[in-house]
Amino acid sequence: MEEIQRLEKELEATQLAYLMTAQINQLKSSYLAKTAHEIRSPLSSLMGLHQLILGNLCEDPQEEKEFLQQGFEAAKKLVEMIDRIITISKIDYGTISLHVETVCLKDIINEVYKLTEFQAKNYSYRIDLKHPKVDIYIQADKSRLIQGLTALVDTAISLMDKGTITITSQLNERENIAKLLIHIPCSFQQWEKQQEDLQTSNLTLASLKEWNNNLQLSPAMTFILCQTLLAKIGGKLTILDISPENEPATLTQLECLLPLVPLP
């Protein structure tokens, strides 16, 4: 009887391990697919731009030179995007080590605020911070976490039309976590946006410059990279649609769970 119970427990553990492995493989496949699209879209657009130039469709040599310059600037942005993706991938696979230390969550949030406040004010938006009365200490790579949270807030600002971003930190000692809530007045669907192709038909310098200015990691890719980073430091990032029912207002919540400093 004891042998049967032992075998049943081993079978249950094996099934659980199999399901977890299948889920991880599915996430990795989704990550690779989104990464491929993120890179392929601007690269294909640049190829289309150069086909336009090679087809002698520019009005004069000066315009051709300006198109080439804009194409070069777009290529540099693309390299920066690829570098960010590669960096997170290396962190995920352990070839880049994280410097995990004890840090104050309030200090991290204040630093993120400083890095994003100017951009928010440029669009006449506000960022409100809500700290608890007690300081919360977490285990994290401070610089990497600041980079990730800043990327999320920057992306949030780009998706808004108006309103205020509210960042709230909470302590949950029972579950040994710190909770960071980012409320953003934008729709959940906007976070699913991926890279848009450059339309080379009727292309003008003005439309090329506008596309070039907007060329950056998509909201979907930014979220995945930050989600991967938080997972490596023992945290978790999720997104929820918390728009009020029967009202036109839309509201999205990013929830970051971060490990507290272990008790002595």
Residue range 194-226, pLDDT digits in tens: 767 767 677 777 777 777 777 788 888 899 889
- For the chain, give the number of residues: 264
**Where do the domains of the chain lie, and which CATH numbers do they carry?**
2-259 (3.30.565.10)
C-alpha angle with apex 44: 43 to 50, nearest 5 degrees? 90
The position carrying tokens 């004891």 is: 2
Structure tokens at 76: 């540099």
SS3 content of the chain, % helix, strand, coil (to 5): 55, 15, 25
In this model, does residue 20 exceed pLDDT 50?
no
The interaxial angle of helices 205-214 and 61-93, nearest 10 deg, is 10
What is the C-alpha to C-alpha distance for residues 151 and 120, in angstroms, rounded to an integer?
13
In this model, does residue 16 exceed pLDDT 60?
no
What pLDDT, in 10s, does the model give residues 99-138?
Answer: 999 999 999 999 999 999 999 999 999 999 999 988 999 9
Report pLDDT for 221.
86
What is the C-alpha to C-alpha distance for residues 241 and 106, in angstroms, rounded to an integer?
26
pLDDT band with cut points at 50, 70 and 90 for residue 24: very low
What is the C-alpha to C-alpha distance for residues 180 and 149, in angstroms, rounded to an integer?
10
What is the C-alpha to C-alpha distance for residues 136 and 223, in angstroms, rounded to an integer?
24
What is the C-alpha to C-alpha distance for residues 139 and 103, in angstroms, rounded to an integer?
6
Report pLDDT for 22.
47
What pLDDT, in 10s, does the model give residues 85-103?
Answer: 888 888 887 888 999 999 9
Amino acid at the residue 2: E
What is the C-alpha to C-alpha distance for residues 116 and 126, in angstroms, rounded to an integer?
10
What is the C-alpha to C-alpha distance for residues 20 and 264, in angstroms, rounded to an integer?
32
Report pLDDT for 13.
55
Amino acid at the residue 257: L
The burial class, CB within 10 Å (0-12 / 13-18 / 19+), for 79 is exposed
What pLDDT, in 10s, does the model give residues 135-164?
Answer: 999 999 999 999 999 999 999 999 999 899
DSSP state, 113? H
C-alpha angle with apex 150: 149 to 151, nearest 5 degrees? 90
Residue, of 68 and 16, whose pLDDT is higher: 68
Structure tokens at 71: 């194409």
Report pLDDT for 246.
76
Report the pLDDT averaged over residues 169-196.
88
Residue, of 247 and 82, whose pLDDT is higher: 82
What is the C-alpha to C-alpha distance for residues 22 and 234, in angstroms, rounded to an integer?
20
Residue among 210, 213, 215, 209 nearest 196 (CA): 215
